């Protein structure tokens, strides 16, 4: 019988609602779920193809151990025993700093972090790495300074804006906003709304823009400085807003006053000055919002560019307001506060790098493994990410994995990372378990969806990632023996469980710190899911703003609150609005006076130092590598490294390198022939695709190539062409500006 089950897509951070028709425990058909209050039926071709990510020939069904050049099946008992013993031995011999955990950044499910981080901390380490720190470090750092504390992030609110600026963001292909294509179509159809695209090339989004600022690659700093100067020059700044909501502008203003905007725009950015003035007017004088993305995040000057984007928003009154840049409502913050000015904040031993929102950057992990310092990383747990394809410098990562004394990979597939790991532990896929992500961005209402399993686990031996990490914690003796009544209490309901837990902690206050683990163990047992128990834990520990917001939605505020909300979550597999945040968005700031702290001391000098002349000089291309490789377009034929089976793109051309027509003529290349691309890191041969989507002087390779499926490798792995040194001061990779040369074969 046909049965449609509700779930969500796990292939990008939008997590669009999906309905799946399941037959014989296989996903047969997929459609957008109209009942999902945020995505409202929207989904893209990736979501429609999600069955390939779940049902594929590379699924892992049991624990495996590396023996020589291959892996062999072992039992769970052996796996947990050997790994935990090895970990304790490494800690005994080398101390806590030998451990790192990399995970929790997946766009599908993140409850694992609740246990993964505690496992790391129980071992005494804070070296938590996640993909968040290979794109967002700069903006999260700036967000932290401006808000007075790290942990909350800001986001654009384009659905309620009239002018939307896509700055280094190709939304038509990458989404990154709810219902992106619908949004772009709505703007096109409405003469009062406009789309401005700042992108060197004619991207699919730029093609649909009212104004396309096709700037010379890497010149965003000069464009931003020019726009701020143009605003001042025309007195377009919002003085009343600045007065009421912004601190520090007085000291910043002089940095822009004498800037030669016209010369910067024409000589550095190679743009039409009148067009830039018009775009700036729309940003300043209409209900505007700016969505910046990888064109900014993974590019030169990312820190000051993100800073100037916030300055632009602040002085035009577009910060903490509807349709501008906002703090989303939250059940739990995106991360912790790991301010590097605090001497207690851990740093890495090789690069002395600090975490941002508690997260260390994957670009430097190979270096942190491959060094002689007594405290270098020796043991790594990787979960739900694929560093051997996703993070820069695959060749360095390969060496690093070889040097590790212990590598453990929690996966659903025989990924490139799994292939090099000492142990592979089989996870349930996101369609086989309960989970959620922290990408429930909305304001003032808080959207929440706990995905429910649509399939019976494909293997009896697979487990939730969090459950696996809990097994390791127990095997290492980090969890005390717990009374039977705690295991049983959850069967009588959450309120009854929380009562029992309260009594237990009263008698055993020494265990207060590990309450979430005790819940994972005992409530997880009663509910049959560690992840569900962790979600209950989040509700228990939720912020005051959330609790007030939940009360505003009609939830009880007494001891039955958690159970009532949790039951409602269970009853809404399509997701629901859980809380309505009260007061205005400025309330979310962590500054004492609830004003935007616009002056960032450390960035004043770099801002001053970025002049027209200094920029012209540093934009000069190295003679040996006269072109720019855009390493990793997030194109509609890519789903990061989640779709290993190339079948889903079978009628499409995707394993190519985009080249501009003039460059192709100059290099003597024809469409379809193979060319060689050479970078400092390596070289590769790849099919040329002459494309109007490529800017002159740039070539583009799609992200997610070089995956091995069923023993065969498809496409070029672009991270082999990137060196870990191609990174900025926050250790984010410079994937949008890898110097290269292209040769005819």
Residues of this chain that bind ligand MGD (CB under 6 A): 12, 46, 105-106, 108, 131, 134-135, 167-170, 173-176, 198-201, 203, 217-218, 220, 293-295, 299, 383-386, 390, 410-413, 415, 427, 429-430, 465, 630-636, 638-642, 703-704, 718-719, 722, 735-736
Phi and psi, residue 738, nearest 5°: -100, 120
293 Cα distance to chain centroid: 11
For residue 688, the cross-strand partners are 657
CA 651 vs CA 204, 459, 647, 686, 711: distances in Å = 20, 32, 9, 19, 21
Shortest Cβ distance from residue 641 to ligand MGD (Å)?
3
Report, in Å, the least distance between residue 411 CB and ligand SF4.
20
Q: Which of ligand SF4, ligand MGD, none has residue 47 at its interface (CB below 5 to 8 Å by kind)? A: ligand SF4
CB of 46 to ligand SF4, least distance (A): 4
Question: What single DSSP character describes residue 157?
Answer: -
Q: Any residues with CB less than 8 A from the CB of 213 and at least 6 apart, and which?
A: 196, 197, 198, 199, 223, 269, 271, 275, 276, 279
Binding to ligand SF4 by residue 15, rule CB under 6 A?
yes
Give the span between the Cα atoms of 585 and 660, in whole angstroms. Answer: 44
Out of ligand SF4, ligand MGD, none, what residue 735 binds, judged by CB under 5 to 8 A for its kind, is ligand MGD
Closest to ligand MGD by CB, 141 or 297: 297
Residue nearest to ligand SF4 (CB): 47
Of the pair 242, 455, the CB lying nearest ligand MGD is at: 455
Nearest-angstrom CA–CA distance, 712 and 732: 31
**354 vs 434, which CB is nearer to ligand MGD?**
434
Quote the least distance from Cβ 642 to ligand MGD, whole Å.
5
Which residue lies nearer to ligand SF4 by CB, 356 or 433? Answer: 433
Which strands, in side-by-side order, build the sheet including 194-198?
211-213, 194-198, 163-167, 288-292
What DSSP assignment string belongs to 119-152?
Answer: HHHHTT---EE-GGGGTSHHHHHHHHHHHTSSS-
Q: How many other C-beta atoms can be found within 10 angstroms of the C-beta atom of residue 662?
A: 12
Cβ distance to ligand SF4 smaller for residue 141 or 172: 172
**Size of residue set near ligand SF4 by CB under 6 A:** 11
Three-state secondary-structure class, residue 744: strand
Least distance between ligand MGD and beta carbon 735 (Å):
4
The site partner of 691 among ligand SF4, ligand MGD, none (C-beta below 5 to 8 Å per kind) is none
**Is there binding between residue 47 and ligand SF4 (CB under 6 A)?**
yes
In the structure encoding, which two tokens stand for residue 6, read together? 């509700």
Interacting positions 172-211 with ligand SF4 (CB under 6 A) = 175
> Which of ligand MGD, ligand SF4, none lies near 128, with the C-beta cut-off 5 to 8 A by kind?
none
Q: Give phi and psi for 613, each to the nearest 5.
A: -70, -40
User: 11, 222, 276, 569: which one contacts ligand SF4 (CB under 6 A)?
Assistant: 11
Return the residue of 20, 30, 44, 364 that touches ligand SF4, per CB under 6 A.
44
Provide, rounded to whole angstroms, the least separation between the CB of residue 239 and ligand MGD.
29
Question: Smallest distance from the beta carbon of 632 to ligand SF4, in angstroms?
Answer: 16
The binder of ligand SF4 chosen from 6, 46, 97, 201 (CB under 6 A)? 46
**Inter-CA distances, 603 with 18, 138, 223, 310, Å:** 44, 12, 18, 13
State the minimum distance, in angstroms, from the CB of residue 455 to ligand SF4. 18
Q: Which residues pair with 713 in a beta bridge?
A: 708
Please give the span between the terminal C-alpha atoms of the chain, in angstroms, as a whole number: 56
Integer angstrom CA distances of residue 625 from 621, 677, 681: 7, 10, 12
Nearer to ligand MGD, 5 or 94 (CB): 5
The residues that touch ligand SF4, with contacts defined as CB under 6 A, are 9, 11-12, 14-16, 43-44, 46-47, 175
């Amino acid at each position: 019988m046909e049965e449609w089950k509700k779930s969500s897509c796990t292939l990008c951070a939008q997590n669009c609602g999906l309905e799946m028709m399941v037959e014989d425990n296989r996903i047969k058909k997929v459609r957008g779920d109209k009942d999902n209050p945020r995505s409202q039926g929207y989904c893209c071709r990736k979501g429609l193809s999600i069955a390939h990510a779940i049902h594929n020939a590379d699924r892992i069904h049991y624990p495996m151990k590396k023996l020589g050049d291959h892996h062999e099946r072992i039992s769970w008992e052996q796996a947990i025993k050997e790994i935990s013993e090895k970990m304790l031995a490494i800690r005994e011999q080398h101390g806590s700093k030998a451990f790192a955990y990399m995970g929790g950044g997946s766009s599908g499910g993140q409850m694992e972090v609740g246990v993964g981080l505690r496992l790391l901390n129980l071992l005494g380490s804070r070296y938590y790495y996640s993909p968040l720190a290979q794109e967002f470090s700069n903006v999260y750092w700036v967000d932290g300074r401006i808000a007075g504390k790290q942990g909350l992030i800001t986001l654009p609110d384009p659905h309620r804006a009239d002018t939307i600026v896509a700055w280094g963001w190709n939304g038509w292909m990458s989404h990154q906003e709810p219902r992106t294509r619908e949004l772009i179509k709505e703007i096109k159809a409405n003469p009062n709304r406009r789309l401005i695209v700042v992108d060197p090339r004619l991207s699919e989004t730029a093609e649909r823009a009212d104004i396309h600022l096709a700037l010379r690659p890497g010149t965003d700093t000069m464009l931003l400085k020019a726009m701020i100067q143009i605003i001042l020059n025309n007195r377009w700044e919002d003085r009343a807003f600045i007065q009421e909501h912004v601190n520090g502008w007085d000291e910043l203003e002089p940095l822009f006053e004498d800037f030669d905007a016209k010369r910067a725009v024409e000589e550095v950015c190679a743009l039409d000055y009148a067009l830039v003035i018009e775009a700036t007017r729309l940003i300043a004088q209409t209900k505007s919002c700016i969505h910046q993305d990888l064109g900014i995040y993974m590019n030169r000057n990312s820190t000051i560019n993100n800073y100037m984007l916030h300055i632009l928003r602040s002085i035009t009154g577009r910060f903490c307001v509807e349709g501008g840049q906002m703090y989303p409502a939250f059940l739990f913050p995106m991360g912790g506060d790991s301010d590097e000015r605090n001497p207690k904040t851990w740093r890495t031993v090789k690069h002395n790098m600090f975490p941002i929102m508690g997260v260390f950057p994957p670009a430097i992990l190979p270096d942190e493994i491959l060094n002689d310092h007594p405290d270098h990383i020796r043991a790594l747990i990787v979960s739900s990410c694929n560093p051997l394809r996703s993070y820069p410098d695959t060749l360095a990562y390969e060496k690093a994995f070889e040097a590790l004394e212990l590598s453990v990979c929690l996966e659903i597939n025989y990924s490139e990372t799994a292939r090099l790991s000492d142990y592979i532990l089989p996870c349930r896929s996101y369609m086989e378990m309960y989970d959620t992500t922290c990408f429930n961005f909305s304001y003032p209402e808080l959207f929440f969806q706990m995905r429910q399993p649509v399939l019976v686990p494909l293997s009896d031996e697979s487990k939730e990632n969090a459950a696996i990490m809990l097994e390791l914690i127990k095997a290492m003796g980090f969890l005390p023996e717990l009374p039977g009544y705690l295991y049983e209490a959850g069967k009588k309901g959450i309120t009854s469980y929380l009562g029992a837990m309260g009594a237990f902690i009263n008698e055993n206050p020494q265990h207060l710190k590990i309450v979430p683990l005790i819940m994972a163990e005992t409530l997880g047992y009663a509910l049959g899911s560690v992840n569900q128990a962790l979600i209950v834990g989040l509700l228990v520990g939720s912020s005051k703003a959330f609790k007030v917001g939940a009360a505003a939605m009609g939830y009880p505020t007494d001891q039955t609150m958690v159970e009532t909300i949790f039951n409602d979550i269970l009853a809404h597999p399509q997701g629901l609005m859980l809380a309505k945040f009260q007061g205005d968005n400025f309330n979310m700031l962590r500054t004492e006076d609830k004003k935007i702290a616009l002056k960032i001391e450390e960035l004043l000098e770099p801002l001053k130092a970025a002049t027209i002349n200094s920029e012209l000089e540093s934009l000069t291309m190295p003679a040996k590598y006269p072109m720019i490789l855009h390493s990793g377009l997030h194109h509609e034929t890519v789903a990061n490294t989640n779709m290993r089976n190339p079948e889903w793109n079978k009628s499409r051309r995707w394993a190519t390198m985009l080249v501009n027509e003039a460059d192709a003529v100059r290099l003597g290349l024809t469409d379809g022939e193979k060319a060689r691309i050479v970078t400092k890191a390596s070289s590769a041969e790849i099919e040329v695709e002459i494309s109007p989507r490529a800017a002159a002087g740039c070539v583009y390779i799609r992200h997610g190539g070089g995956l091995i499926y069923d023993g065969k490798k498809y496409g070029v792995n672009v991270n082999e062409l990137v060196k870990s040194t191609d990174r900025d001061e926050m250790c984010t990779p410079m994937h949008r500006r890898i110097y290269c040369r292209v040769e005819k074969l």
